[in-house]
């Protein structure tokens, strides 16, 4: 039996003030059951470690000497957890009062759930589209050539970004954004940790795919709504992240769509994905700068 109900794992890199805000949202209205918070700091240069130690001494703090990446950082945290449920949480999130309790209750009411994602909004309250289908070659191709935007309500052309999804009901989904991803410990024990060959992007996508292949379901619920600033770490090195996102997608294809049947489509996507990823990275960086009310050092 787990003596802790919920373990919260947060990987941080140079997001001190946002991380402190996230931790404050947890401890200001803590859940009514035993929980623990594990912060894995990836060699931040902004005083994160000292700030967390001073403001939240109850946090289990793992300070890496170098940036080991998002996947390995999460795995370090997961290996230290004791909870029946494990929440992978980004540092640029504000949780609502009662949100953790609702999420755990959902998992308890759905014993077939291996993972759970929740509704996300931008700081101005507008919806953040945070649920996607698995990035099949055909689904991503429709995205890259713009057909998903031309036909946003079409489930065939919008299969990857699920542009038709309304975010107003509980649903079984493929892959919620890893910003807030609650995992069942038994599922983690069966599926395994995040694959560290995906250091930043597509590690949670790969995990969700492996989870479903093991027979678990993945759910989305609008009953919990979090504020997500978005791109707090990756926006700091957006050009490099654009390249890493492209590499992550192609690595995902090599692993899950490696058959010769998909070779022509993989090549086409490789040619198209770089300019698209670069555009996305710059858009995220600009949005983060305009939305974040917190000064960064």
Q: How many CB atoms lie within 10 A of CB 82?
A: 16
Higher pLDDT: 204 or 260? It is 204
pLDDT cut 70: percent of the chain above it: 81
- Residue 235, pLDDT above cutoff 60: no
Q: Which helix (H) or strand (E) holds 121?
A: strand 113-121
- Residue 292, pLDDT above cutoff 90: no
Q: Is residue 297 part of a domain?
A: no
Q: Dig out the tokens for 219 from the structure.
A: 């759910």
- Residue 271, pLDDT above cutoff 50: yes
Burial class (CB in 10 A: 0-12, 13-18, 19+), 225: middle
- Residue 191, pLDDT above cutoff 70: yes
Higher pLDDT: 276 or 187? It is 187
- Residue 96, pLDDT above cutoff 70: yes
- Residue 59, pLDDT above cutoff 80: yes
In a 3-state reduction of DSSP, which class is residue 242?
Answer: helix
Residue with tokens 């794992």: 9
Cα(16)–Cα(206) distance, integer angstroms: 28
Q: Which tens digits make up the pLDDT trace of 118-174?
A: 999 999 999 999 999 998 888 888 887 888 888 888 899 989 889 899 999 999 999
- Report residue 251: phi and psi, to 5°: -65, -40
- Residue 273, pLDDT above cutoff 50: yes
Q: Is residue 92 part of a domain?
A: yes
Cα(71)–Cα(78) distance, integer angstroms: 10
Residue with tokens 């649920």: 131
Q: Please name the residues in contact with 245: beta carbons below 8 A apart, sequence gap of 6 or more.
A: 200, 201, 277, 280, 281
Confidence label for 289 from pLDDT (cuts 50, 70 and 90): low
What is the CATH number for 79? 3.90.550.10
pLDDT of residue 249: 79
Q: How many CB atoms lie within 10 A of CB 93?
A: 22
Q: Is residue 37 part of a domain?
A: yes
Q: Is residue 249 part of a domain?
A: yes
Mean pLDDT of 10-14: 96
- Residue 82, pLDDT above cutoff 90: yes
Most confident of 122-126, 154-158, 231-235, 249-253: 122-126
Note the pTM of the prediction, 2 decimals: 0.86
- Residue 248, pLDDT above cutoff 80: no
Residue 1 C-alpha from the chain's centroid: 28
Cα(237)–Cα(241) distance, integer angstroms: 6
Q: Is residue 225 part of a domain?
A: yes
- Residue 54, pLDDT above cutoff 80: yes
Mean pLDDT for the chain? 87
Confidence label for 237 from pLDDT (cuts 50, 70 and 90): very low
Mean pLDDT of 16-32: 96
Residue with tokens 């989305």: 220
Q: What total number of domains does the chain contain?
A: 1
pLDDT cut 90: percent of the chain above it: 64
Mean pLDDT of 182-194: 97
Bridge pairing between strands 113-121 and 217-228:
parallel
Q: Is residue 58 part of a domain?
A: yes
Domain extent, residue 135, equals 4-291
Q: Is residue 296 part of a domain?
A: no
């Amino acid at each position: 039996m787990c003596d802790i109900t919920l373990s919260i794992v947060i990987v941080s890199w140079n997001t001190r003030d946002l991380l402190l805000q996230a931790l404050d949202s947890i401890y200001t209205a803590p859940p009514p059951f035993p929980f623990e918070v594990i912060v894995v700091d990836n060699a931040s240069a902004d005083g994160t470690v000292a700030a967390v130690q001073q403001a939240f001494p109850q946090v289990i703090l793992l300070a890496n000497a170098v940036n080991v990446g998002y996947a390995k950082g999460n795995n370090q945290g997961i290996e230290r957890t004791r909870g029946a449920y494990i929440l992978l949480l980004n540092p640029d999130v504000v949780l609502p009062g009662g949100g953790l309790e609702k999420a755990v209750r959902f998992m308890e009411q759905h014993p077939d759930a291996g993972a759970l994602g929740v509704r996300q909004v931008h700081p101005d309250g507008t919806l953040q589209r945070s649920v996607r289908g698995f990035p099949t070659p055909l689904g991503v191709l429709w995205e890259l050539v713009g057909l998903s935007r031309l036909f946003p309500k079409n489930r065939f052309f919008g299969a990857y970004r699920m542009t038709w999804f309304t975010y107003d009901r509980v649903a079984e989904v493929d892959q919620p954004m890893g910003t807030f991803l609650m995992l069942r410990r038994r599922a983690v024990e069966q599926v395994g940790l995040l694959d560290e060959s995906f250091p930043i992007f597509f590690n949670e996508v790969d995990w969700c795919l492996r989870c479903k292949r093991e027979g678990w379901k993945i759910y989305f619920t609008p009953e919990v709504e979090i504020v997500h600033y978005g791109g707090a770490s990756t926006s700091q090195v957006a050009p490099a992240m654009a390249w890493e996102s492209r590499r992550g997608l192609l690595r995902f294809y090599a692993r899950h769509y490696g058959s010769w049947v998909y070779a022509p489509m993989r090549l086409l996507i490789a040619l198209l994905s770089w300019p698209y990823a670069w555009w996305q990275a710059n858009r995220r960086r600009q949005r983060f700068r305009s939305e974040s009310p917190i000064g960064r050092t």
